[in-house]
Amino acid sequence: MDVLAQVQERPQHYDNIKAPWFVLTAKQELERRKGANVVKLGGWKVITTLDLNAQKVAEEQVAKGLAQVKRQGGDTAAFVAEDVKTGQVVALVGGDDFKNTTYGENNYAHDLELPPGSTFKPYDYAALIDVGKTLEQDQFYMTRWERCLVRITNVLQALNETATVLLTTI
């Protein structure tokens, strides 16, 4: 009898968990609030805001966008979806491959402090519009730091260029 042929690979610790980054983030939050030792005792009934349909879409979008991320020099992608009415997270994908033994359990959507990039732009532009600035008529200085370029533009042009800009009203 060949004993080695019958040895099976040990399953990963988190096999068969749906939305593993979301689940581990919820566990971390519970540990932060109640203490890791208390959580380890078990017996908890935890109700989360996870929406499995939204989670499926998030996972699909990370997989779909990964090729573009890599073409642009990135390593992985992450995704967080929030219910805008409640502020609750309904889906969270922390990377492209949870089972990757090198980096899989790193949660790029939650654990790592990464710069937000252009994610604030829609809020900035919405705030300008909320205070009565028009997209085409009000003029602003636009500074593109990467090119040391300063010129006068309007909100619509700045938004269309999607550059990281500093807008100040004239």
Instruction: Please write the tens of the pLDDT for every residue from 29-41.
Output: 999 999 999 999 9
Average pLDDT of the chain, as a whole number = 79
pLDDT tier at 161, thresholds 50, 70, 90: low
Residues 86 and 163 in one domain: no
Domain boundary among 114, 131, 150: 114
- Mean pLDDT within 91-95: 94
Residue 124's pLDDT band, with cuts at 50, 70 and 90, is confident
152 φ/ψ angles, rounded to the nearest 5 degrees = -95, 135
Instruction: Please give the Cα distance from 26 to 47 (Å, whole number).
Output: 9
Token couple for 58: 């998030």
Domain enclosing residue 19, as ranges: 3-114
What are the residues facing 154 on neighbouring strands?
A: 139
Q: Are 126 and 155 contained in the same domain?
A: yes
pLDDT of residue 103: 82
Tell me the percentage of the chain whose pLDDT exceeds 70.
71
Phi, psi of 168 (to 5 degrees): -135, 140
At residue 106, the pLDDT reads 86
Residues 52 and 82 in one domain: yes
Same domain (yes/no): 103, 71 = yes
- pLDDT bin (cut points 50, 70, 90) of residue 168 is very low
Q: Which residue has the higher pLDDT, 146 or 8?
A: 8
Token pair 């700045």 in the structure block, residue: 158
Residues 6+ apart with CB under 8 A from 136: 154, 155, 156
What is the number of domains present in the chain? 2
Dist. CA 21–CA 127, nearest whole Å:
32
Summarised one tens digit per residue, pLDDT across range 10-64 is 666 677 889 999 999 999 999 999 999 999 998 989 999 999 999 999 999 999 9
Contact 90/49 with Cβ under 8 angstroms?
yes
